[in-house]
Structures are given as C-alpha cells and as structure tokens.
Amino acid sequence: SQQGEEDPQALSIQEGENATMNCSYKTSINNLQWYRQNSGRGLVHLILIRSNEREKHSGRLRVTLDTSKKSSSLLITASRAADTASYFCATDEANSKLTFGKGITLSVRP
C-alpha cells in the first residue's frame, strides 16, 4: 500500500520557472524524503527532512513539512530542462522501510 499522495500528478513548466509539488501522508513519521527518478539515472535521493524540522534547503531545493497537516512540499527554483523527471515523496515511520507515493511527472520546457 502507498502512504504518500503527491499533487499534482503531472506538472509542465517553462525553464526558469519554479515548480512546487505537494505530498500528503497518513500516519506518524520519523522523517520524509524526496526522490527523483528518470530513465537515465534511476532513483536518486534529493533531500530528507526530519519530523521535528519545518523547512530545509539544499541548493535550488526547498522542502517544508507540516506534521499537523501531514503534508510536505518540494519547491524547485529556477527550473532547468534537466529537472525533467518523476518526483516521489517517501515516508519513514521509524521502521526503516520507506513508503512511497505514486509520483509527480515534471516536464520542464526549454
């Protein structure tokens, strides 16, 4: 079963614009992670935010976490064509395994 649900399912933007993706989950978590997947490089870890953190930055990525609403958002600023991929949120409920959502397909038009 999949715990996370990403929103929107698909997103198409122009290069240089910002992309915002949302994730909702159902149970208490230890941390939440975002991954990117494309055919060329497989599934790549982007960023991890712990349950006691509210916001985290890494390069052009900004992730927020609202545990009261059981939701997270991933912001990619100044998008590039190379950001075109599927993005997944994954929750860790402190039992080590990750529970992934269905993913968001991001297309960045040059």
Which of 48, 60, 73, 108 is close enough to bind other proteins by CB under 8 A? 48
Question: Cβ of residue 17: shortest distance to other proteins, in angstroms?
Answer: 25
What would the DSSP string read from start to end of 43-100? Answer: EEEEEEEETT-SEEEETTEEEEEETTTTEEEEEE-S--GGG-EEEEEEEE-SSS-EEE
* Residue at token pair 């994730």: 23
110 contacts other proteins (rule: CB under 8 A): no
Q: Residues 45, 54, 80, 109: which binds other proteins (CB under 8 A)?
A: 45
Q: Is 22 in the site for other proteins (CB under 8 A)?
A: no
Residue 102: how many other CB atoms lie within 10 Å: 12
CB of 24 to other proteins, least distance (A): 14
- Least distance between other proteins and beta carbon 110 (Å): 25
User: Judged by CB under 8 A, does residue 43 bind other proteins?
Assistant: yes
Instruction: Verify cis geometry, omega within 30 degrees of 0, for the bond prior to 8.
Output: yes
Q: How is residue 22 written in tokens?
A: 């949302």
- Where on the chain is the footprint of other proteins (CB under 8 A)? 1-2, 4, 30-31, 33, 35, 42-45, 48, 50, 88, 90, 92, 94-103
